[in-house]
Chains A and B, each alone.
Chain A
């Protein structure tokens, strides 16, 4: 079965600093990969997704992620963090043969210092 690991439970960055959130997955074939953001008490909002093609994916709110097959990683990056980016971030994976059933990581909580 596929699995997702987000090694960092909590990350704190200063406003304006760069950000990288790590995500590693376990799956035998090329998976579908996603990053979501969740603000307190809210549902999930899709930031970006990777299905195939270009391994560098651009998303909303200035986020990007790079799929590295050799490292089984799909890290999320943002060059300059804004205070409004403080939230919980989830990486998710789906089997390409079983789309619609996502497996989520445990999430990384981002705190932004002024």
Chain B
């Protein structure tokens, strides 16, 4: 069974731009969570979607948003990029909210 797929794997943007990252969950999984990983802040929860509804949201500014489509694929968007948004963005999928999460390889975003 294919794992969680994240595209693109690497991305370079400049300050002020916006970016959209994509996550395709494991087939049959309906829950998708997003995390940001940085050397300074570690792994931080961004948001979680289940059946196209946002169930949980972490403590990030409104510049960070996401959505989930009917096929469970999810996107996250960061507007008005700042240098501090440079990070590895990880997506995890699970069958449901109380099931094991499986992580994708991540999208590494560099903001210049």
A residues lining the B interface (CB < 8 Å):
32, 36, 41-46, 49, 51, 90, 92, 96, 98-107
B55 at the A interface (CB under 8 A): yes
Residue in contact with B105 in the complex, picked from A43, A90, A101, A105, CB distance below 8 Å: A43
A-B contact count (CB 8 A): 57
Rounded to whole angstroms, the CA-CA distance of A98 and B47 in the bound complex is 12
- B55–A44 touching, CB < 8 Å: no
CB-defined contacts of A105 to chain B, threshold 8 Å: 42
- A104–B100 touching, CB < 8 Å: no
In this complex, the member of A100, A101, A104, A106 whose beta carbon has the largest number of chain B beta carbons within 10 angstroms is A100
CB-defined contacts of A42 to chain B, threshold 8 Å: 105-106
CB-defined contacts of A102 to chain B, threshold 8 Å: 33, 35, 43, 45, 101
B98 at the A interface (CB under 8 A): yes
Residue in contact with A100 in the complex, picked from B4, B44, B97, B105, CB distance below 8 Å: B97
Rounded to whole angstroms, the CA-CA distance of A96 and B99 in the bound complex is 11
| Contact pattern, B 75-112, Cβ under 8 Å of A = 1, otherwise 0 | 00000000000000010101001111111111010000
| Contact pattern, B 50-89, Cβ under 8 Å of A = 1, otherwise 0 | 1000011010000000000000000000000000000000
